[in-house]
Structure 1
Amino acid sequence: MTVSVQSSHNEPTTVEKLRGLPWSIAADTSITIFSQLIFFGSVFILFLDKLGLNKTEIGSLLSLIPFAGTLALIIAPFVVRFGYKRTFVTFFGLRKIITCFLLLTPWVAATYGPGIASLFVAAITGGFALCKAIADTAAYPWVQEYIPDSVRGKYYATSNLFATLASFLVVIVAGFVLERSAGLSGFMTLIGAGIVAGFFSVWSYAHVPGGARRANASTMDMRKVLAVGRDRNFRRYMLGIGLVIVGFTPLLSFLPLFMRQVIGLSESDIVRLPTGALLGGLFAGYLWGWASDRYGSKPVMMSGLIIRLLLPLLWFLLPPNSPWSFPLALGISVLQGIGDVGWAIGSARLLFVNVVPSAQSMEYMALYYALAGLITGFSQMLGGRLLDALGDLQLQIGGFRIDQYTVLMASAFLLTAAGLWIFRQVRGDSGVSTGQFAGLFLQGSPIRAFEAMIRYHRAQDERSVVFMTARMGQTQSRLPVDELLDALRDPRFNVRYEAIISIARMQPDPQLTDALIGVMRGKSPALSVIAAWALGRTGDPRSLPPLREGLNSSYRSIQSHCARALATLGDRESIPDLLARLQSESDYGQQVAYASALGKLQASEATEALLALLRDADDESIQMELALAVARTVARTNGDEHYFIQLLRQTRGETGTALAQAAVALRRKVSRLLQADAQALAAFDSSGDLLARNNLTGGAAALQETIQRLPLAQFPTAAASVLDACAHHLGPGGSARIEYLLLTLHTLHAVEEVTIRPRTK
């Protein structure tokens, strides 16, 4: 046998593929209508039950369709030679012609009896299954070819959207028809409508490109197909798929009978029940598709499977013959739709993008289709036999009823849980884990993030784009990471600038950090400066090396912001370099930046240098920034820094009152520091009284006297240096530099904390 490897000139271009996707979506939508009404929906199960088939017979009949998939191993080479598209369209259309014979079922039943009618339906199902197996063998590699991987998730989501809308209308109409018909007449009406939709899908698929006949066939025998089984990742994927199929296929196949026989729903309600799943799929479909393209197939698949794991438990707890039975079943159906679509999109995308190599598509897909068909067929057949064998099972344990359907639900839960464990070992197509994926929807405000993302893509003018870029950052959600990266590459300066600010509001993210590093190293100083600031704001330690490099930038503004960012990140390793730069720098702005950074890092060895810079400062804002830097070098807790800031804020109102209150609060501590020096304590008390009278000059002089009598030799070096400098500036005219009054009280507060508390090693 031979299978070809398609030459590149036979494959359609990406533009041609994208042009053909609407036809594929139209075909998918119409074939969904066909499937809902014939062979795969609850209508067909009820139709077989109406013919008088028992559960074993129904299961065996349904198993014909997946069992036929084993033919893929035999027909694959011929499919390649005949052409994927030609094979698919031919046999896809032929199976619709065969389905037309179902319309003769009432005549066969009336003429030859129900037994012959059942055999007649079985023969039609067998013919349909054979044609389906041949068509699907061609479909899998064709689908892998004509859907670009970059939009595969979005395609599945869009196709699911239209198919869901169509299915929603179909099941409503089907329930209406069955409710108002008797015997097989209603089923024949629905089957006829399904056949019409099926032929429309054949016509639509004929317009999809690709799938050409392969002229240059390379030799391949059955051993090459079987060699695929040595792929460990493929084996794990198939084992996980097999467990999920065996667990869920029997349960889903006979769920309509469970709803009628155990829960007590009517046939029309059972047919309407899938509307819940359709609504769930409609709600979640586009989200799952978008997420699989952005975050990878595996987390989407696993999330959908976790939701499915809950379904057997919920069905088991469903109250029978209750007014709440149908509403609750409908709610469970909505959850089922959400989980099913996530599972379907994620598992299919993972299969095509990561599990199956495109160069060996036919070998892998033939084996996949054969194994999946074999497993599905056995599971359906065994499910029916199991239900018939356990038909007499009726137990009551506590308030719970145990019957044959309970066994199917238990096996679905256990086997799906085992499948989840197996899938954890399957190689993913992204670095995002399931936990990280779930966390994306728990951080920040995901709903606002989605709104901002949608409006960002729809924004038409610069002002709107800037506004929505800012909104994305305000959500503090990691969902719009790609949009922020896109904004960072926007040709408009204001958009890029706003993107940097928005990224600074986000939690650390490797992609965003790398992007900011790139901007900082770029040739736009205005953006490099803000990028350096943003790197410090995000708190990602991966930013440290590039920020250290930025200290050597040819632009002083970048050097300054890198120094401040390093301090924000708490990079104490940079203290020696920053101190050396402060001592050698001649630019005043640079000196302030280095001083502020050293203060932020609580570099006590820099206290003297900071005090010298503070002494010569003549701008109020710079004076206060440097005073805070000095205060930080003697602070030992966050509370100490807070004390300085609070005192500064209070002095902006009634300066003397605020300083006096601080002095009074420190009296007991200062008394212990003065070691029973009554004269010094009296001077301190006097300072409080003078400050309370708003005599700042007198209060400063009294504080100077207090400091001069303190045992500074016993103080920590930094604190002693600060108090000594304060004493020097609190003499005549000392009230003009209020920062020294603040530093005096702050240092006394901080030193007291160190002195009276026991030190720990």
Structure 2
Amino acid sequence: MIFTPVKKLSPKQLNLAMKLNILTGCLATVWGIVCSPQPLFNVFVVTHLGASSSTLGLLVALLQLSGIFQLASIFIYGYARRRKPFFIAAHLIHRLLTLAIAAAAFIAAASGNTGWGIRAIMIAVPLSWIFMNASAAGWWSWVADLFPENIRGAFFLRRSAIINIINVIWFFLASMVLDLFKGPYTFWIYVGIFSIGAFSGIVDIIINLFIPEPEPAENEIFNPLDALEPLKNKNFIQFSIAVGLAIFSINLISPFQSPFIVDPNGVAAPNTWLGIMFVISQLTWVVTAPFWGTIMDKWGRKPVVVLGCFFVISWTGYFFLNHRTYVYLLPLISIAGGLLAPAFWEGVNQMMLSLAPSKNRIAYVAWYMTLVGLVSSGGSLLGGTLLDAFAAFELSFINLSFSGFHIVLLGSMLMVIFSAWIISRVREGRERDMGFVIGRVANPGILKTYACMDDLDTACDPDRTEQALRSIEAETGDLALDEIIARLDDPYLEIREEAARALGRIRSAYAVEPLLHRLGDSQTHFQIAVARALGKIRDRRAVGPLIECLTNTTSEALQEACIQALGDIGGDEAAVAVAEFYRKAPSDRLRATAADAASRLGLFEASSELLPRLISGTSSSIRRQYAIALGNLFGPPGDFYPFVSGSESAHADRISRLFHQLEWKIRSTNFKFHKTPITKLSKTKIQNRIDTIREVREHLDAGQDYEALRKITSFAQDILAEILGEAVESRQFQELAFRIDIHFGSFVWFLEEVQTYLAETVKHSGNQIETLRLLTLLIVFFLESNWN
């Protein structure tokens, strides 16, 4: 029978399954940390039982090779009605057989016979792993059906964090006790440690009886040929082999790192330091694992797995490790490894489940574990053989000493990084680009976003939710995209508005459809926030709905938001709508908004009235808005805004920088449209230009706005004369300027209009003082923007 997609559990059943799964995981780690090839087990076998590195390598290789029995699970579960009974039965045998490890310690403690213990372990442990591998695929298929994919990564990495707290406590206590009771008591301590581990492993399996197993939605007759289906999936096979190669590479040196650290002829660190390292790395794991789980669920498993492969970079510290430096370096190695290691070790299993289709998943899981086991099996064996072969190798450089261990270590690191490259070539189907993920993860702001996610998802206090939305930053907000989109339907209008604003800051294309769906919301204020957010995202899909909203509403505030959004998005359809609205705008405020949008779209025809309307503006805000629209014609859209906004001191500081930048450019570069190279201009001419700009600035500072505008206008005319030559005296010079560049043509038109205004105006009359200042700044802004 093939297990097809299952009926979902109720929330109560799902909650129970999660709690029990975490409990079994905690008990399993008490077993695994001492009854499998981990640091304490490796030290026991090599240092205390006296096995060689090759023997330990052979044992690990046998355990990896036992993965071939995963293939048996395809047929066992294929013909079974349920997965749980066989999994529990086989895993109970698996855990019972590991009592042989405790028996080996007992015989050594009672009689001093260590040879019997090595033989018992070499037989019982690989045999126990055969039962484990023959049933493990059922557990993975079972939990994949239990926990939905959209929460699976976060749950398993959170589970991993809790499990590793138990890891820390148990490993540290075990290693500390081993250091406290050395000598004749050592083997008896190992008897107790291994007995506790085996007992915990047995209880772990028994508790699985109480975890619900969902019934399949439908049953299909098992076809033995389905067992070969995964082999036809090249993408899945490539991933499985790449993971196997990565683990092969890691196992070249990983099993031998602990013995190297405590070896009296090597680093000579106490056993307690293995515990300290474990505590540090696992606590780091506890902190980072939930974060990586969230990244997996949001942006895909593959980028996380590839990043996780680089945990081996932490092993660089081993090249500088000796009996004098281990106190400093071992903690650093542990922290660096703990940051990235969960991304790899937890990520590969989650990626495997993502690549395995729900139908016939057991076959995929079985082949994955088989291929990983077969490919990785030789790593520890080769590593142990190489270490024995290079046992006599020694090299000293400055105050550093290198041995065969370091040769194997370097080879291991390079091979893991190569494996990461192969994994990066696998197609997961839903992952984000590697550059995108690396850029986001490397941004410290992502921690702030991650911290806000819990409030966005579960907070009952509206104020906390609103504050969390305001804290979302553009560069890292993608991480909380789903939680923010969910808040678009919040009962509180303020929260819906903040959610729309946050999506506008993030500018993700994934937010366009949810925002368009809410653009027709009856709450006008919410529609305004949605329209502005769509404008910031600048996706052309929003143009049609924004035009429809603009046409159907009578709210000036909403019309203003739609026009601004259309100006931000651009395109022919948006340009036509903006130009039409500009001609029919019912108020000065909306006409100014439409003019700003038109200028950003480069619509000179719709912007030809900007200067007259600036001059005749009845309020400071209207005049400044028209000035901003003109600035959009003269330089990068939006860049003139800082010179007419903010506090008086900030405003003055920005203007000062504008003048300084123009002076610097005049001294070292050419005007954009000027054909004469700067090198051919005389120093006197350049200095005269700089002196003129300084005079303009002095007039502005002294409140002599009329003189400032007259001076800068004359300066600009001289520049135009140099560029256009005799054409300046003809009536066609504006047309010529527009042919050169639309921004240049707009400025020539503007300058002619300003000359007319200067001839007709009085130096100090009413609103003209601010108008004169704005016109002066616009000319300086154009010159600075185009002097390059």
* TM above 0.5: yes
How many residue pairs align between the two structures? 709
Give the match for residue 75 of structure 2.
Answer: 77
Aligned to 1:470: 470
1:39 correspondence with 2:69? no
Deviation at 1:35, TM superposition (A): 0.8
1:511 paired with 2:510, answer yes
The residue number in structure 2 matching 1:461 is 461
Residue 65 (structure 1) shift:
2.2
Deviations 1:403-422 (A, max 9, x none): 32223212211211221111
The match for 2:676 is none
Deviates more, 1:27-36 or 1:377-386: 377-386
Larger Rg: 1
For the Cα contact (< 8 Å) 1:85–1:212, is it kept in 2? no
Q: Cα deviations across residues 343-398 of structure 1 (Å, max 9, x unaligned)?
A: 12221111012x21111112212222222222333222232222222222223456
Q: Which residue of 2 aligns with 1:380?
A: 380
Deviation at 1:119?
1.6
Does the 8 Å CA contact 2:705/2:772 hold for their aligned counterparts? no
Give the equivalent residue in structure 1 for 2:203. Answer: 200
Match of 2:280 among 276, 282, 290: 276
Unaligned runs of 5+ in 1: 651-655, 676-709
User: Whole-Å Cα distance in 1 between the matches of residues 779 and 233 of structure 2?
Assistant: 72
> For residues 381 and 189 of structure 1, what CA distance do their matches in structure 2 show?
29
1:21 is aligned, of 15, 18, 23, to 18
Which of 132-141 and 578-587 deviates more? 578-587
Aligned twin of 1:254: 256
SS of corresponding position for 2:252: helix
Is the counterpart of residue 266 in structure 1 residue 266 in structure 2? no
Question: Which structure 2 residues correspond to residues 469-488 of structure 1 after superposition, within 5 A?
Answer: 469-473=469-473, 477-488=477-488
Write the distance in 1 (CA, Å) between the matches of 2:633 and 2:501: 30
SS of 1:273 mapped into structure 2: helix
CA displacement at 1:215 relative to structure 2: 11
Deviation string, structure 1 residues 730-756 (Cα, Å, up to 9, x no partner): 3699546545544665677689999xx
Question: SS at the partner of 1:395?
Answer: strand
Supply the AA of the counterpart residue of 2:24: A
Gap change, CA 1:646 and 1:232, over 3 Å in 2:
closer
Give me the whole-angstrom Cα distance separating, in 2, the residues matched to 1:748 and 1:91: 83
Structure 1 724/35 Cα, relative in aligned 2: closer, same or farther at 3 Å? Answer: same
Q: Is the 8 A contact 2:244 2:374 kept in 1?
A: no
CA separation in 2, counterparts of 1:480 and 1:192? 45
- Distance apart, 1:725 and its partner CA: 5.3
1:392-403 matches, cutoff 5 A: 392-396=392-396, 400-403=400-403
Cα–Cα, structure 1 residues 370 and 599, in superposed 2: closer, same or farther, change >3 Å?
A: closer
Question: Which stretches in structure 2 are left out of the alignment for 5+ residues?
Answer: 653-698, 719-728, 735-747
Name the SS for the 1:480 alignment partner. helix
Inter-partner Cα distance in structure 2 for 1:611 and 1:530: 30
**CA offsets, 1:190-218, max 9 Å, x none?**
11111221122122212112177999562
Residue by residue, what CA displacement relative to the aligned partner does 1:667-704 show, whole Å, maximum 9, x if unpaired? 655667899xxxxxxxxxxxxxxxxxxxxxxxxxxxxx
**Aligned match of 2:239:** 237
Structure 2 contact 66–129 (Cα < 8 Å) conserved: yes
Greater shift, 267-276 or 475-484, is seen at: 475-484
Following TM superposition, by how much is the alpha carbon of 1:310 offset from its aligned partner in structure 2, in angstroms? 0.5
1:301 matched to 2:305: yes
RMSD value, Cα: 3.9
> Does the CA contact (< 8 Å) of 1:605 and 1:718 recur in 2?
no
Residue of structure 2 equivalent to 1:717: 749
Partner residue of 1:66? 64
Q: Distance in 2 between matches of 1:39 and 1:636?
A: 64
Is residue 661 from structure 1 mapped to residue 704 from structure 2 by the alignment?
Answer: yes
Letter in 1 for 2:99: C
Question: In 2 relative to 1, CA 445–273 (structure 1 residues): closer, same or farther, beyond 3 Å?
Answer: closer
Deviation at 1:318, TM superposition (A): 2.9
2:567 and 2:337 map into 1 onto residues whose CA distance is 51
Distance 1:335 1:752 in 2: 52
1:37/1:43 contact within 8 Å kept: yes
**Aligned position for 1:140:** 140
Q: One-letter code of the match for 1:424?
A: S
Assess if the C-alpha contact under 8 Å between 2:56 and 2:384 holds in 1: yes
So what's the TM-score if we normalise by structure 2? 0.80
How far apart in 1 are the matches of 2:78 and 2:382? 34
Give the secondary-structure state (helix, strand or coil) at the position aligned to 1:413.
helix
CA deviations on 1:54-80 (whole Å, 9 max, x unpaired) are 111222223332222212223531244
AA aligned opposite 1:511: Y
Q: What residue identity is the alignment partner of 1:166? A: I
Residue aligning to 2:433? 433
Q: What's the secondary structure of 2:212's corresponding residue?
A: coil
Equivalent pair of 1:277/1:337 in contact (CA under 8 Å): yes
User: Which residue does 2:296 correspond to in 1?
Assistant: 292
* CA 568–500 in structure 1, closer or farther in 2 if over 3 Å, else same: same
% identity of equivalent residues: 18
The TM-score with structure 1 as length reference comes to 0.82
For the residue of structure 1 that corresponds to 2:131, the secondary structure is: helix
Residues 1:54 and 2:55 are matched in the alignment? no
Distance in 1, matches of 2:764 and 2:101, equals 106
Q: Is the 8 A contact 1:713 1:720 kept in 2?
A: no
Q: Is the Cα–Cα contact under 8 Å of residues 48 and 58 in structure 1 kept in the other structure?
A: yes
Is the alpha carbon distance of 1:574 and 1:126 closer, same or farther for their aligned partners in structure 2, counting shifts above 3 Å? closer
Note if contact 1:80-1:213 (Cα within 8 Å) is conserved in structure 2. no
Superposed, which structure 2 residues align to 1:146-225 within 5 Å?
146-181=146-181, 182=183, 183-210=186-213, 218-221=221-224, 223-225=225-227
Report the Cα offset of residue 31 of structure 1.
0.7
Letter in 2 for 1:129: W
Counterpart contact for 1:93–1:199, Cα < 8 Å? yes
Q: Is the 8 A contact 1:627 1:739 kept in 2?
A: no
Tell me the distance in 1 between the aligned counterparts of 2:482 and 2:63: 43
User: 1:584-595 maps to which residues of 2 (within 5 A)?
Assistant: 584-595=584-595
Q: Which amino acid aligns with 1:438?
A: I
Could you tell me which amino acid in structure 2 is paired with residue 433 of structure 1?
A: D
Show CA shifts across 1:489-525 (max 9, x none).
Answer: 2122111112223334x24221234443443354443
User: 2-side partners of 1:29 and 1:742: how far apart?
Assistant: 72
Write the letter of the residue equivalent to 1:460. C
* TM-fit CA distance, 1:549: 5.3
Report deviation, 1:548.
Answer: 5.0
